[in-house]
Structure 1
Amino acid sequence: MQSNKEKIIGILGGMGPEATWDLFGRITRATPAEKDSQHLHVIVDSNPKIPDRTKAILGEGPSPVDAMIATGKNLERAGADLILIPCMTAHYFIEQVQLSLTIPVVNGFHLMQRYLENQGIAYSKVAVIATTGSLQSKIYPHYLGADRLICPDENVQQHEVMDLIYGPSGIKAGYVSGPVITRLNRLIARFETLGADAVIAGCTEIGLVLKGHPMPLPVIDPLDLMAQEAVQLALSSV
């Protein structure tokens, strides 16, 4: 029987749906359980109607903040004790969202910051595969330090990274194997020639695609860090 002392995990999802179910699965796999009843209580509100975060950051669309807050409040009312957001671009708005909620929102960038500090010199240069909105928001250098990061030039970002994520044959269109994996492999190999020691799957769905596929560089997956942190927090008072 589940302990009443375990914290209930909320996932503020839909950004995107693939990353949402993937995070739920990672929480399940990260939980030390031998039977169903030993797993954690997880509440998922997958709201794909939240306005596009990249467009909002670039000034090309409405803010997602109100919809994120409303979805977060749904999780509060349902009994969640903490919230995860499986979208790194959405973290640009995390402080505004947190102000309107009474339960903590786990900051994936804080988790990456701590992870990189623990790695030390082993990951002195880290490449970032992320949306244009995330890169232009400067959220990565804000948390991780500009000197550590290697980002694509404008041409590569637009015609390779964004096409991989948003293109008609991209990840958000449901293409997660074959040519997409080949293109990601080539992109990461290019980062290796630029001196990167590892690569951040800054669009969380990138990590979904790369699971189980060897790449030229180690991949830092924020969803793994979130899942591990959520399990630790949920069990911390047991």
Structure 2
Amino acid sequence: MTEARMLGVLGGMGPLAGATFMQRLTLLTPAQRDQDHIPTILWSDPRVPDRTAARLSGGEDPLPALMRGIRGLEAAGCGAIAIPCNTAHGWFEAMQAQTRLPILHIVEAAADELLRLGVTQGPIGLMATKGTLAMRLYQDRLESRGFEVLVPSAEEMDRIVMPAIDGVKANRVAEAYAPLAEMAVALAARGARAVVLGCTEIPLGISAGPPLPFPVADTIDALARAAIAWAKPAG
């Protein structure tokens, strides 16, 4: 492998997801010693305004706060940026237009993760925030790759998914497992061959209990693998 390049991580959305991304990046990196790991700078700023509220209910625009983090990572000498928050990718084009650094796209990473899991077609379940679903961040990209995307109903979003995400953000991680597993199993029962955990709080809840009996695309791990591929390309 060639020498690793400096990775910038725009985190804090939420803080536990960003911290977990750093852990998973470390554990997934092929390394024998400290020096084999990827030099990384984490910009964890939980003050970024709520992304779902910004899209659905006229909340404060998060773009200025996102760009503040990107400018900090630029100044630190990073060569690319990973953002372990799915809903923030609703501002992907606006962020990418304002920086020279490549931003690794979490949805593309998740699509590649499905292929790594051997899921190349058919119905796919998607669990995500209301904002991510409303912006069709996953539906459009996965459908362009030939997948059919199954999502929770509005009632399931209100009763199951969003409360579980909020629970993880409030550090009640273990409590989130049962509702999130219930929703994933329901999507599988509707024909999903795999379930994409399309909010970086969701893998944290799912990992708090027994593994699910079908493939899941963990977007934290998917983004970590994309970051490793960028930082240490084969050659």
The answer to whether TM tops 0.5 is yes
2:221 pairs, out of 206, 215, 224, with 224
1:41 pairs, out of 16, 20, 39, with 39
Of all paired residues, the percent bearing the same amino acid is 34
Opposite residue 152 of structure 2, the aligned amino acid is P
In structure 2, what is the equivalent of residue 150 of structure 1? 150
Matches within 5 A, 1:44-193: 44-116=42-114, 123-145=121-143, 148-166=148-166, 170-177=167-174, 179-193=175-189
Give the 3-state SS of the residue equivalent to 2:61 in structure 1. Answer: coil
Q: What do residues 37-58 of structure 1 show as CA deviations (whole Å, max 9, x unaligned)?
A: 2211110000100110000111
* Distance verdict in 2 for CA 1:220–1:45, change over 3 Å: same
What are structure 2's unaligned runs of at least 5 residues?
Answer: none
What TM-score comes out, normalization by structure 1 length? 0.90
Give 1:119 deviation, angstroms: 5.8
Give 1:123 deviation, angstroms: 5.0
**1:10, 1:55 → 2: CA distance?**
26
Give the 3-state SS of the residue equivalent to 1:73 in structure 2. Answer: helix
Q: What do residues 180-217 of structure 1 show as CA deviations (whole Å, max 9, x unaligned)?
A: 21222222221122111111111111112222631143
**2:122, 2:85 → 1: CA distance?**
24
What are structure 1's unaligned runs of at least 5 residues?
Answer: none
Number of equivalent positions = 232
Give the 3-state SS of the residue equivalent to 1:11 in structure 2. Answer: strand
What TM-score comes out, normalization by structure 2 length? 0.91
Opposite residue 32 of structure 1, the aligned amino acid is P
Q: What do residues 163-185 of structure 1 show as CA deviations (whole Å, max 9, x unaligned)?
A: 1112xxx11111111x4212222
In structure 1, what is the equivalent of residue 233 of structure 2? 236
1:10 paired with 2:5, answer no
Regions of 4+ moved over 4 Å: 117-123
Opposite residue 56 of structure 2, the aligned amino acid is L
Opposite residue 172 of structure 1, the aligned amino acid is K
1:205 pairs, out of 189, 201, 217, with 201
Q: What do residues 63-86 of structure 1 show as CA deviations (whole Å, max 9, x unaligned)?
A: 111110110110010011110000
Contact 1:112–1:225, Cα closer than 8 Å, also in 2: yes
